[in-house]
Amino acid sequence: MTGVPSGPLATGKLATENESSRQTPILEQNFAKQSRIIRQDSNIRLPIPGKSVHSVVLPVELPMFRLIRSVAVLSLLAALAACGSKEVKRINPPDVSVQSLAVAADSATLSLRVHNHSDVTMTFGNFDLKLRLATNAPFSISSNATIEVSPHTAEIIDLQVNRNSLSTDALKRLEAGEMVAYSLFGQVESLAPKSRLYDLSFEARLSAVPGKPGEYR
C-alpha cells in the first residue's frame, strides 16, 4: 500500500505545484499583451504557454489592403452621390431698365437693358411698358420684338418711341444738365423655355451723356 509522502519531500512538491499554478495566469496575461502589440502584417503562429502543441493564428490585414478598401468605399459613395443628385435650374423674374434715351428732331429711341437672373437662357418678347419722366404722365411703349439673354447676363434691345410722347419740360431739364427721375413699369413675356408674363417696375435717373447731344443715360 502506497502512502502519502510526508516530510521535506512532500512539502517541496506541494510548494512547486503552488508556484506553477501562480505562474500560469501571469504567462497567459503576458501572452495576451504580446498578441495585441504584434504587427498584423502576416500570419503569425504563437504558442500558448503550457500548451506547446497548439497555436494561435493572427488575422492578416496589410496596410495596403486597408487603403484599397477605403478608396473603393469612397469611390462607391461618390458614384452614388453623383447618381442621386440632379442640378436644379432655377427661373427667376427678369429686370428691365433704361440703358439710354436718344432724342432726335423727329424721332426717339429707347434702349432697354434686359437682365436675366435665371440659371437658363431666356427669350423675352411682347413688351408692354409705360415710362414716366419726372412727375409727368407716363406714356406707353409696346413692342413685339424678341431678345434672347444668357443666364445671369443682360442684353440691350432698342425700341422706337413717339417723339411727341416725351415731356417737353423733362427734355429741357435734361438738356440743361439736370438729372431727371424716371419710372419704368409694365409687363414682359417670357417665350422660352416656358411662356409666362412678368410684372416689371424699375426706378432710376437719367442725365445727359457728355459729348453726345440728345442722348441721356
Confidence of residue 73 (pLDDT cuts 50, 70, 90): confident
In this predicted structure, the answer to whether residue 81 has a pLDDT above a threshold of 80 is no
Question: Tens digit of pLDDT for each residue in 47-56?
Answer: 555 554 444 4
In this predicted structure, the answer to whether residue 9 has a pLDDT above a threshold of 50 is no
Confidence of residue 110 (pLDDT cuts 50, 70, 90): very high
Selected residue with higher pLDDT from 59 and 177: 177
The span from the first CA to the last CA of the chain, in angstroms, equals: 131
Amino acid, single-letter form, for residue 171: L
Give the Cα separation of 196 and 126 in Å (integer). Answer: 11
Q: Are 83 and 61 in contact (CB under 8 A)?
A: no
In this predicted structure, the answer to whether residue 158 has a pLDDT above a threshold of 70 is yes
- As a whole-number percent, the residues of the chain with pLDDT over 70 amount to 65
Task: Work out the average pLDDT over 156-181.
Answer: 94
Give the Cα separation of 58 and 95 in Å (integer). Answer: 71
Question: Tens digit of pLDDT for each residue in 169-214?
Answer: 999 999 999 999 999 999 999 999 999 999 999 999 999 999 999 9
- As a whole-number percent, the residues of the chain with pLDDT over 90 amount to 58
Task: Work out the average pLDDT over 159-171.
Answer: 93
Q: Are 195 and 136 in contact (CB under 8 A)?
A: no
Cell of 124: 423675352
In this predicted structure, the answer to whether residue 2 has a pLDDT above a threshold of 90 is no
Selected residue with higher pLDDT from 208 and 12: 208
Measured CA to CA in angstroms, residue 164 lies from 103, 167, 177 at distances of 10, 8, 21
Task: Work out the average pLDDT over 84-107.
Answer: 89
* Residue 88: predicted pLDDT: 85
Tell me the domains of the chain and their CATH numbers: 12-81 (no CATH), 95-206 (2.60.40)
Task: Work out the average pLDDT over 132-145.
Answer: 94
Task: Work out the average pLDDT over 6-29.
Answer: 50
* Residue 103: predicted pLDDT: 96
